């Protein structure tokens, strides 16, 4: 895969930070996508939340806009169906059990210097890196 010029992820990251920051300052909430995805589908503790559904629609709409007007991304999924489904189950269950994912803990929580979020982020980063190591260098890939 082509290396990506660092300005793209830096600019994209700044937009993600701006989104999370504005969501806090305007709506008073943490922009955690696992919680928003659960709220948008009625799977959160508080059931269906229209505000979460609007965020998720905006999220997908924003990606569509960026793909058509800024930079058409490639989506390369190098994983067969069975491990992909298992991964989905683990991501869904784990993000709810651990109260957050890369956005809620990684971006929002770390910015607030929340002890829980820092521990969670270090834990899932390390676990994911070990998993990739085992899959790619232990098992030789899928």
- Residues of span 20-49 touching other proteins by CB under 8 A: 20-31, 33-34, 37-38, 41, 43-45
Residues 51-70 within binding reach of other proteins (CB under 8 A):
51, 54-67, 70
Please state at what angle helix 50-69 crosses helix 33-40, rounded to 10 degrees.
Answer: 120
State how far the Cα of 98 lies from the Cα of 106, in Å rounded to an integer: 12
* Three-point CA angle 122, 128, 130, nearest 5°: 100
* Closest separation in Å from C-beta 31 to other proteins: 6
User: Tokens 């809620």 identify what position?
Assistant: 104
Q: Per CB under 8 A, does 14 bind other proteins? A: yes
Cβ 68 vs Cβ 94: under 8 Å: no
Cβ 115 vs Cβ 127: under 8 Å: no
Q: Per CB under 8 A, does 15 bind other proteins? A: yes
* Closest separation in Å from C-beta 69 to other proteins: 9
User: Tokens 């298992």 identify what position?
Assistant: 86
Residues 115-134 within binding reach of other proteins (CB under 8 A):
115-116, 119-121, 123-133
What is the per-residue binding string for other proteins in 76-105, x denoting contact by CB under 8 A? xxxx-x-xxxxxxxxxxxxxxxxx-xxx-x
State how far the Cα of 69 lies from the Cα of 15, in Å rounded to an integer: 16
* Closest separation in Å from C-beta 140 to other proteins: 12
Q: Per CB under 8 A, does 140 bind other proteins? A: no
* Closest separation in Å from C-beta 73 to other proteins: 5
């Amino acid at each position: 895969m082509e290396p990506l010029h660092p300005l793209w992820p830096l600019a994209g990251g700044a937009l993600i930070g701006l989104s999370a920051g504005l969501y806090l300052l305007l709506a008073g909430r943490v922009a955690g996508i696992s919680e928003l995805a659960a709220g948008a589908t009625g799977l959160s503790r508080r059931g269906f939340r229209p505000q979460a559904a609007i965020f998720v629609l905006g999220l997908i709409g924003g990606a569509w806009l960026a793909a058509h007007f800024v930079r058409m991304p490639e989506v390369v999924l190098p994983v067969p169906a069975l491990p992909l489904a298992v991964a989905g189950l683990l991501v869904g269950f784990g993000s709810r059990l651990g109260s957050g994912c890369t956005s809620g803990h990684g971006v929002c929580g770390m910015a607030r210097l929340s002890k829980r979020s820092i521990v969670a982020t270090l834990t899932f980063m390390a676990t994911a890196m070990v998993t990739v190591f085992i899959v790619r260098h232990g098992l030789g890939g899928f």
